[in-house]
Structure 1
């Protein structure tokens, strides 16, 4: 669907954004599983923890768009593989931080390279990737207001 002036409708753009995000996440999940034995969620969590240093389960769940019990299972698997650990939160002893181990930091770098490789392939034929990147960042900021 397009408007009278030929631009795509908001519905089409929204659908295309959701589809592109889903396809990229699926591609990351397939390659991460094949190359590293990680799920898409575990890959996402590694990247988030590499950026933030530590997060509590509810923060990880919100950032990944899943519920806390799903994150708990993924963290347990990460701990079993020696990629993550749970530490008491220094500011609030009732909370438990999820942090990367040295092996988890190395794996996060491998996942980051995988995502960059897939993003480069996904951007083939895109005239102005920097404009697209800024536009998508703005979309993300707009959606975070909700």
Structure 2
């Protein structure tokens, strides 16, 4: 019986994690759209590129959990707005890096502030936000290391 209780609580926690992530992403998307004219994905791409400097489309897709064509459309929109550029990769001329323009770097800072504001709201009433952050980072690492097939029907 204890094992069944543990399974039920683990499933509930999994659902809560998915729901919290979905709600935060939706909130970021709504505010980013309203305030900056960006989708949640575009905001996420800006934050990733601000942190890493440059990435290729497949890296961006993997980091965001979307397919490459979805990233291509979001990058195209970012290029149209003057926030991103495509540059030939210097280490491997067959690859194309996505980088931020100066305007993209400024917008990434605005998105970062928006996410921080929403995170503060989301964390109201949480006793140990640092512990939660460490735990969620571990959850992310565990999922990244898991050999979960990407084509599960």
TM-score computed with the length of structure 2 as normaliser? 0.90
Q: For residue 71 of structure 1, report the CA deviation from its aligned partner.
A: 0.6
CA distance, structure 1, for counterparts of residue 84 and residue 138 of structure 2: 31
> Does the CA contact (< 8 Å) of 1:89 and 1:96 recur in 2?
yes
Name the structure 1 match of 2:89.
Answer: 89
TM-score by length of 1: 0.95
Map 1:21-32 → 2, pairs under 5 A? 21-32=21-32
Match of 2:54 in 1: 54
Can you list the C-alpha shifts for 1:86-106, whole angstroms capped at 9, x where unaligned?
A: 000000000000000000000
Q: 5+ unaligned residues in a row in structure 1: which ranges? A: none
- Give SS of 1:9's match: helix
Q: CA RMSD in A?
A: 1.7
Closer/same/farther in 2, CA of residues 93 and 8 from structure 1, 3 Å limit: same
Which residues in structure 2 correspond to 1:54-73 (within 5 Å)?
Answer: 54-73=54-73
Distance in 2 (alpha carbons) for counterparts of 1:111 and 1:5: 41
What corresponds to 2:44 in structure 1?
44
Is the CA contact (8 Å cut-off) linking 1:3 and 1:9 kept in structure 2? Answer: no
| C-alpha deviation, 1:9, in angstroms | 1.2
Give matches, 1:1-146, under 5 Å: 9-146=9-146
Which stretch of the first structure deviates more once superposed, 6-15 or 75-84? 6-15
C-alpha change, 1:80 and 1:73, in structure 2 (3 Å) is same
Deviations 1:46-70 (A, max 9, x none): 0000001000000001111111111
